[in-house]
Amino acid sequence: MGGKSRDRIFGDKLRAAKIRLESAKRESRQADRSIIAAECEVWSARMEGYGGPAQPSPTIEQAIGAGFFFLEVKCRRCNHQGSVDLRHLRRHESTEIWRLEASLSCERCRAGHRWKAKVYMIKLSRARDTSGPWYAPDELDGH
């Protein structure tokens, strides 16, 4: 078999296989994104409906990748609800969401009473709820 006919037979075969591989990779990536988005929804429903458990949870990177940009939290002391924009945290993107709770404090309590009131996590959300007052709790010092 000469070089030319080998290229005609195997070249076409190789090109077709490469196209199928790229297509399969695209489908796989899409499936991964769907799984992560569903994991964010499961975690949120568990937290909002049952108060936990918070572990395991998606990471900051996974939540953002699935379009969940906000972590909704509520102050344990004054009940004020707020949200944290996950895109603007000074944390590594591999940080698991549940690890954030301990380092967040209520902005309203800090401003009004100069103490750091703890918050608890409610859920991940795709959009900031604009129906009520919102604030972005800062991270505690040293974390």
SS3 assignment, position 96:
strand
* Cα→Cα distances 35→32, 42, 63, 64, 107, Å: 5, 10, 11, 14, 34
Q: At its nearest, how many Å lie between Zn ion and the CB of residue 80?
A: 5
Count of residues that bind Zn ion according to CB under 5 A: 8
Q: Where are the alpha helices (DSSP H) in 66-104?
A: none
86 binds Zn ion (CB under 5 A): no
109 binds Zn ion (CB under 5 A): yes
36 binds Zn ion (CB under 5 A): no
Candidates 24, 38, 42, 78: give the one binding Zn ion (CB under 5 A). Answer: 78
Judged by CB under 5 A, the stretch of 2-10, 83-91, 106-114, 122-130 that binds Zn ion is 106-114
Rounded Cα–Cα distance for residues 11 and 143 (Å): 57
Q: At its nearest, how many Å lie between Zn ion and the CB of residue 52?
A: 20
Radius of gyration of the chain from its Cα atoms, rounded to whole angstroms: 23
Which residue bears the tokens 């707020």? 82
Candidates 66, 75, 84, 121: give the one binding Zn ion (CB under 5 A). Answer: 75
The DSSP bridge partners found for residue 81 are: 74
Structure token digits, residue 7: 């290229």
Judged by CB under 5 A, the stretch of 7-15, 36-44, 74-82, 131-139 that binds Zn ion is 74-82
Contact residues toward Zn ion (CB under 5 A) are 75, 77-78, 80, 106, 108-109, 117
